[in-house]
Amino acid sequence: MADQNKEPGILQDLFNTFFKKHWPVWVGGVTLGLLNILLFAVKSPWGASGGINNWGENVFKIFGISSFENATPTSASLYGVLCLLIVLGSFAGALFSKEFALRIPPKGELVKGFIGGGLMAIGATLGLGCTIGSFFSGVPALSGGAIIFTIGLFAGTIVALKYLLWEMEKFPGFSTGKSFTFLAASEEKGKWQIWLGWIVSIGTFILAFRVAGTNGVLAWFIISGLLMGLICQRSRFCIVKAFRDPFMTGESDGSVGVMAGLLITLVGFTAIKYFGIGVGESSLRAREMTWIFGHFWLRGLLGGFIFGLGMTVAGGCAVGTLWRVGEGQVKLWMSALGFLLISPISKHYIVPAINNALPHTMKFKNYLPDYFGYGGAFLIVLFVILIWYVFVKWNERTGKFSAF
């Protein structure tokens, strides 16, 4: 009885602060925004779809498909490594909190996971980015195309949500049935998860230390990926939640958390671009155009719409898929599989035909400061975020646009 009432030590109390309960989403948004700024200062902003595409190209390369024989090895791809470490970081976070378990949903959910992942792959390759590259990093990078991509995300989310509601009404048995859970821990059992979490984390830091001697940028991406995965898992940070929940349950926590990250990133990215931090004067324009893609306006709108469909059906965006893979959610394993298999196919065989059919006026690089100056561009993005905030808070109180 005395042991049960014994208070935890100082270090145990610190550990419990981080892993005993989940963090507010806004904490995840702010810390991820800060890490994103540091990634940009070191090399370039956070992205996810390019890394997952790299995984897929290497899978096809292993199977000897000639179109992908020159694929960059994942070990040499910054974003391929970053995505792997996000999965590993989430795995560590789930282990530390004893939340890791293999969760296998009904067959219908597995099918929707794969289809959603495939749609996200098509949307990302067409729209030149995902909810990270073309939204969470693209909007603060002052990209006009990223704002259009975001509009597409909203539209795709609404359409997919209407489909899911229709499916629940017309075919309620499709996503129901037996589900299974393996390796789950409890309060009394499962200390092996915490020990494994330490092994994974310490091993990653050792790897980064060894890599730092030859490639400091890659070492930073390794550490950043581990931290990002852990932060996402602890804060349940997921951009599909930010877009979906106001129209489904009316809740705004996910949206506000993402907005907090956008605001932090907006300030940091604007400073880096305006002052040319990290480059000489000869490369200032290249620094300004970082993360400004040729997808304004129709290409970004179509890509965002298709991606919004996919992430809502799958139940996880690009980063949401990655960290849920790490904590053992098998539906999102199927989503990741669909994403990595379809992405190279879409990039090499589907998107070129669409891209060639679009005139330049529908797929050019739009850098907002070129039209409005840095002050005007900053205020435009700030105003867009403010309008979004007012809408989700108003809708949370009134439920005017909520399905439930």
DSSP β-bridge partners for residue 181: 103
Buried b (16+ CB within 10 A) or exposed e, 64-92: eeeebeebeebeebbbbbbbbbbbbbbbb
Q: Quick check: is 188 in a domain? A: yes
Q: Which has the closest alpha carbon to 156: 316, 312, 321?
A: 312
Helices (H), 276-358: 284-288, 298-314, 318-326, 330-345, 351-357
Q: Quick check: is 7 in a domain? A: no
pLDDT in tens, 39-51: 999 999 999 999 9
Buried b (16+ CB within 10 A) or exposed e, 122-144: bbbbbbbbbbbbbbbbbbbbbbb
pLDDT at 283: 86
How many angstroms from the chain centroid is the CA of residue 373? 29
Residue spans of beta strands (DSSP E) within 171-277: 180-182
Share of the chain above pLDDT 70, in %: 98
pLDDT at 7: 76
Task: Compute the distance between CA of residue 156 and CA of residue 244 in angstroms, rounded to an integer.
Answer: 10
Q: Mean pLDDT, to the nearest integer, of 62-73?
A: 95
pLDDT at 382: 98
pLDDT in tens, 185-226: 988 889 999 999 999 999 999 999 999 999 999 999 999 999
Share of the chain above pLDDT 90, in %: 94
pLDDT in tens, 313-350: 999 999 999 999 999 999 999 999 999 999 999 999 99
Q: Quick check: is 8 in a domain? A: no
Q: Quick check: is 106 in a domain? A: yes
Q: How many residues does the chain have?
A: 404
Return the SS3 of 45: coil
Q: Quick check: is 13 in a domain? A: no
| Domain hosting residue 333, numbered range | 23-276+283-398
pLDDT band at 2 (very low <50, low <70, confident <90, very high): very low
Predicted structure pTM score: 0.96
Q: Quick check: is 15 in a domain? A: no
Burial of residue 6 (CB within 10 Å: 0-12, 13-18, 19+) is exposed
Helix axes 78-96, 10-19, angle to 10 degrees: 120
Task: Compute the distance between CA of residue 380 and CA of residue 309 in angstroms, rounded to an integer.
Answer: 27
Residue with tokens 């850098």: 367
Return the SS3 of 367: strand
Q: Quick check: is 142 in a domain? A: yes
pLDDT band at 56 (very low <50, low <70, confident <90, very high): very high
Q: Which token pair is 302?
A: 């179509």
pLDDT in tens, 81-92: 999 999 999 999
Task: Tell me the residue type at 344.
Answer: P
Q: Which has the closest alpha carbon to 81: 294, 229, 265?
A: 229
Task: Tell me the residue type at 93.
Answer: G
Number of compact structural domains in the chain:
1
pLDDT in tens, 215-274: 999 999 999 999 999 999 999 999 999 999 999 999 999 999 999 999 999 999 999 999
CB 270 within 8 Å of CB 374: yes
CB 248 within 8 Å of CB 404: yes
Q: Mean pLDDT, to the nearest integer, of 349-377?
A: 97
Mean pLDDT, the chain, rounded, equals 96
pLDDT band at 8 (very low <50, low <70, confident <90, very high): confident
pLDDT at 189: 87
DSSP β-bridge partners for residue 276: none
CA distances from 31 to 46, 234, 389 (A): 13, 12, 19
Using CA atoms of 350, 136, 369, 291 in order, give the dihedral in degrees to the nearest 10.
-50
Q: Quick check: is 178 in a domain? A: yes
Residue with tokens 């960290």: 323
